[in-house]
Structure 1
Amino acid sequence: MNSKNFQDLVRSSRSYRRFAEEEPLCYGDLAALVNAARFAPSGNNMQVLRFHIVVEPAERSAVFSRLHWAALLRDWDGPAAGERPTGYIAVCAPKALATNLVRLIDTGIAAQTIALAAASRGLGCCMLKSFDPDVNEVMGVSAEDYVTELVLALGVRGERVVLETSESEHGLAYWRDEEGTHHVPKLALENLLI
């Protein structure tokens, strides 16, 4: 992969919040994404994170009802029926290490690796940290042993996402236009370098 291809992959690895629900993912699809994450860096190479996959419709519905989708889209309660994710991956840390800064960094690295792997397959991913406290129980993750740090919602992309400069009236707030295109403002490189 050359640098342009990598830049294109990163640009396509956005937060997708609407999916083509009629094209469901299977357990193997999500296991392949977790397999990519197992090669990601891990603090002290401890590899303490664990992953829980949800693809069955009843379980997906239970997880969906506990997620909070987009704080900046105040009038939107999340994807409508037909636009919902067809799979979830919970990124879990051991309960005793759940607030350890290095493990939180590990969670971010693993989640971004999964998002990039999903993008390389033409799939959409949305990383969600805002969810109801009982998400562990609903997903079947042992709350005695593990804490769900992030829930990754995945599926075939069902919306158009456009990156744009942050110089518009919206500033850094993502927004949707009247056609339903999701716009994501990004700072210019010169604004990031200090």
Structure 2
Amino acid sequence: MIKELIIRNRSYRRFDESEKISAATIGKWIELANLSASARNAQPLKYAIITNPEMCAKIFPFLGWAGYLSDWKGPVEGERPVAYVAVIKDRQIADNHYCDDGIAMQSILLGATEEGFGGCMIGSVNKAKVSRLLGLAEKQELLWIIALGKPAEQVVIDPVNNGNIKYWRDEKDVHHVPKRGLDEVLVYTD
């Protein structure tokens, strides 16, 4: 059950823009992040939900989409995210967020996947410009943007071939993500 959900939770970069997501729905997914583990239980993360099409359009140019697909400039109109979640660290609460961001984003995306949506954690962000667009305070640090929408692409998992871990797209535009086998990642067992 959880394995199937994790397999379906891929990094989607193309979406069906006709399928909207309400802020209330995204709020349910953020509640999952809020209920998840937090280092020292400090809970320094905050979240900005962006569903307004004009604001989404303003954020889009400040995002990098797929480093390994050097000839692809990102989703075209009609395939762009319909919502974003800005993951923000509140430095008034803690200077270090440890691994809270990864746990939180995985929880949000698992919630989205369970409801038939998907997303992509984006670290390639012009943080200064997006922070200004969002009106973040000095003590609020933008960490990540999560792009959200109804997936409009097929993403499949393949075994790593000859050590190559770079994702790629085939002639049918299927997105392939190589994953190392358990025999390669398991270091110790009784």
TM-score by length of 1: 0.91
- Which residue of 74, 82, 88 corresponds with 2:84? 88
- Which residue of 57, 80, 85 corresponds with 1:61? 57
Q: Does 1:140 align with 2:128?
A: no
- Which residue of 17, 23, 30 corresponds with 1:27? 23
Structure 2 CA distance, aligned partners of 1:20 and 1:90? 20
Contact 2:44 2:94 in 1 (8 A): no
Q: Structure 1 stretches of 5 or more lacking a match?
A: none
Q: Could you say which residue in structure 2 is the equivalent of 1:48? A: 44
Greater than 3 Å deviation, 4+ residue runs: 95-99
Aligned ranges 1:146-161 → 2 under 5 Å: 146-161=140-155
Q: Does 1:109 align with 2:123?
A: no
Q: Secondary structure at the match of 1:25?
A: coil
Q: Secondary structure at the match of 1:16?
A: coil
Q: Does 1:129 align with 2:129?
A: no
Q: How far does residue 99 in structure 1 lie from its aligned partner after superposition?
A: 6.0
Q: How far does residue 95 in structure 1 lie from its aligned partner after superposition?
A: 3.6
Aligned residues: 186
Q: Structure 2 stretches of 5 or more lacking a match?
A: none
Contact 1:51 1:90 in 2 (8 A): yes
Structure 2 CA distance, aligned partners of 1:136 and 1:43? 25
Contact 1:98 1:147 in 2 (8 A): no
Q: Secondary structure at the match of 1:159?
A: coil
Q: Could you say which residue in structure 1 is the equivalent of 2:72? A: 76
Q: Could you say which residue in structure 1 is the equivalent of 2:169? A: 176
TM-score by length of 2: 0.93
Q: Secondary structure at the match of 2:64?
A: coil
Cα shift readout 1:47-79 (whole Å, capped 9, x = no counterpart): 111000000010000111110111100011110
Contact 1:19 1:156 in 2 (8 A): yes
Q: Could you say which residue in structure 2 is the equivalent of 1:11? A: 7
Q: How far does residue 98 in structure 1 lie from its aligned partner after superposition?
A: 7.5
Matching residue's letter, 2:35 = F
Q: Secondary structure at the match of 2:99?
A: helix
Cα shift readout 1:75-109 (whole Å, capped 9, x = no counterpart): 11110000000000011002467862xx0411111
Q: Secondary structure at the match of 1:134?
A: helix
More displaced 10-residue stretch of structure 1: 131-140 or 79-88: 131-140
Matching residue's letter, 2:170 = D
Contact 1:37 1:110 in 2 (8 A): yes
Q: How far does residue 140 in structure 1 lie from its aligned partner after superposition?
A: 3.0
Cα shift readout 1:18-62 (whole Å, capped 9, x = no counterpart): 001111111112111111111000011111110000000100001
